[in-house]
A and B are shown apart, each in its own frame.
Chain A
Amino acid sequence: MSMRYIGLALRGLCLAVVLTAAGLGQSASPAPPATAVDAAVVKDFEARVTKYMDLRKKQAGSAPKPTNSADKLTKAKEDIGAKIRAARADAREGDIFSPEIAAYFRKQIAATLSGPHGKRIQASLRHAEPIAGLAIKVNDKYPEGVALQSTPPSLLLNLPPLPKELEYRIVDSALILRDITPNLIVDVLRDAIHMPQ
């Protein structure tokens, strides 16, 4: 497990170096200064994500390959989803977004939305066909046929990086952790997005 932490940390460090060298992320809203407590919370979040990814790998196996057949795509997605859902039958909201992690995320999001670039990020959120009134539940599928609201780049710069199989999405005022291939809601952080007036 410790090797995994080192791997994640190295990946984050490499990305930071690349982005800094490229001059990227400079226009993102600055995150609040990272404290030792914040670092510990992020480490805890990464460990929980890693635990999910271990389970996922065991259930889903290797990633599906490109195909000409929409039938095969649907079947592969449903098979993987069914296996993960069964293996996480007892999953609960907050398994990943624990109270401490939830507080950290809410702080990061609030800082992003109220920072010097907050207005443009809020405008992007408002113009991105916001999803509202959707019933979302951990370990359920994200409702089929419903659009996915885009996540502002500046917000993504201020949240912990995820493995490529997962993504942060916004549903109404909630932030969800979504597993892309099986279209599953891994966890939900409610009351996360507040648009300052």
Chain B
Amino acid sequence: MLPRLFCLILAFLSLAAWRPDAAAWLVPKSVAAFTAPTAEQATPPKPGLDVRLPLQAKSIRFAVIGDSGTGDRAQYEVAQQMEAYRQRVGYDFVIMLGDNIYGNHQPKDFAQKFEQPYKPMLDAGVKFYAALGNHDDPNDERLYKPFNMGGERYYVFKKGDIAFFVLDSNYMDPNQLAWVNQNLRDSNAKWKICYFHHPLYNEGRNHGPDLDLRAQLAPLFRQYGVNVVFSGHEHVYERMKPEDNIYYFVLGNSAKLMDHDFNSNGDMVKSFDSDRGFMVVEIVGDKLYFQTISRTGQTIDSGELARQAPAPSAH
């Protein structure tokens, strides 16, 4: 009996050392939530933080998170890295790609799954702009002021020359399609960025791409010169090969994780499915710089993208 127990403990410790995420699955979720670190316990920023953005004057800088609202330890650890990077990068807003609050939507859930993990950023005046995921409550979240949705399920906001079109991919009804069409057409922003929960292009095995949504949205994005699209839902990171000259990112691992999830057909430029992460983005002139960072501070992906020439039919 004892040697068997010893072997089991040894196997668990080996697993924990080799793949902490796999070992974490063996810990009950309630325990993980209970042991979520507080802001006071947060690891101080490492002096050698790897920053690959140029941090140019007069640039627009923001962070990206997706599928973040679990309230568990992983979310808090990603939030700590985000705060460390905020102090160096100086982004002043965060875009949320949906599944901002998993499970119940009682007041304590808003506290545990949003207000507490991101408290240092909220206290510093960072604004969060949320899109709705399938685990979100469209009523509660659109009316929750810290999500800056203005009471709407889909909306647009501008930062400098950049227009952000925030869509509700859960319910792309004819009214919203008409709104997307009109707002993309009428926008004269230099950069058009769309974000929403369900990815149009995705090589994750768990969900895959939403083909019906793609059939409705991709032609509009092409026609009206959308530059970049961010989505979540698949609990991984993916940078896709450009489609119709549009850059597509999937980031659905800011708390949730689907380990070993890829079924690659060669459409990904870069992928990551072994830990959680977030992005920081800087836009200046015709250049977009991005850096994707894991919860342990490892740079997963980074690069520079040039603004595409508008399509001939684009406004």
Contact = CB atoms under 8 A, between A and B. Distances in A.
Interface of A: 15, 18-19, 22-25, 27-28, 63-71, 73-74, 77, 117, 120-121, 123-124, 127-129, 144-145, 147-154, 156-157, 161-162, 164, 167, 180-181, 183
Contacts of B188: none
A18 B143 CA distance: 28
B171 A24 contact: no
Contacts of A120: 211-212, 215
Q: Which residue, of A22, A63, A66, A152, has the highest number of chain B Cβ atoms within 10 A?
A: A66
Given A66-B142, A156-B172, 12 more contacts: A24-B177, A24-B178, A25-B177, A27-B219, A67-B144, A70-B140, A147-B134, A149-B134, A153-B173, A153-B177, A156-B173, A157-B174
A7 B232 CA distance: 38
A24 B143 contact: no
B190 interface: no
A157 B169 CA distance: 14
A65 B150 CA distance: 9
Contact of B143 (A66, A127, A145): A66
B314 to A, nearest CB: 14
Nearest to B185: A22
Interface in B144-180: 144-146, 149-151, 169-175, 177-178
Interface in B119-158: 134-135, 137-140, 142-146, 149-151
Contacts of A145: 103-105
Which range holds the interface residue count of chain B? 35 or more
B216 interface: yes
Contacts of B48: none
Contact of B145 (A67, A124, A161, A167): A67
Interface in B88-134: 103-107, 109-111, 134
18 contacts: A15-B175, A24-B177, A25-B174, A27-B219, A66-B145, A67-B143, A68-B145, A70-B111, A73-B139, A77-B139, A117-B215, A120-B211, A129-B134, A144-B105, A151-B170, A152-B212, A153-B173, A154-B212
A127 B171 contact: no
Contacts of A64: 143
Contact of B175 (A63, A67, A121, A164): A164
B178 A15 contact: yes
B287 interface: no
A18 to B, nearest CB: 5
A180 B215 CA distance: 26
Given A124-B211, A153-B172, A153-B213, A70 B178 contact: no
Given A128-B198, A144-B104, A154-B215, A180 B181 contact: no
Please give me the 4 A-B residue pairs with the lowest Cβ-Cβ distance, nearest first.
Answer: A70-B110, A70-B107, A120-B211, A124-B212
Contacts of B103: 145
A167 B216 CA distance: 19
A64 B137 CA distance: 15
Nearest to A131: B134
A152 B148 CA distance: 26
Interface in B180-223: 181-182, 198, 207-213, 215-216, 219-220
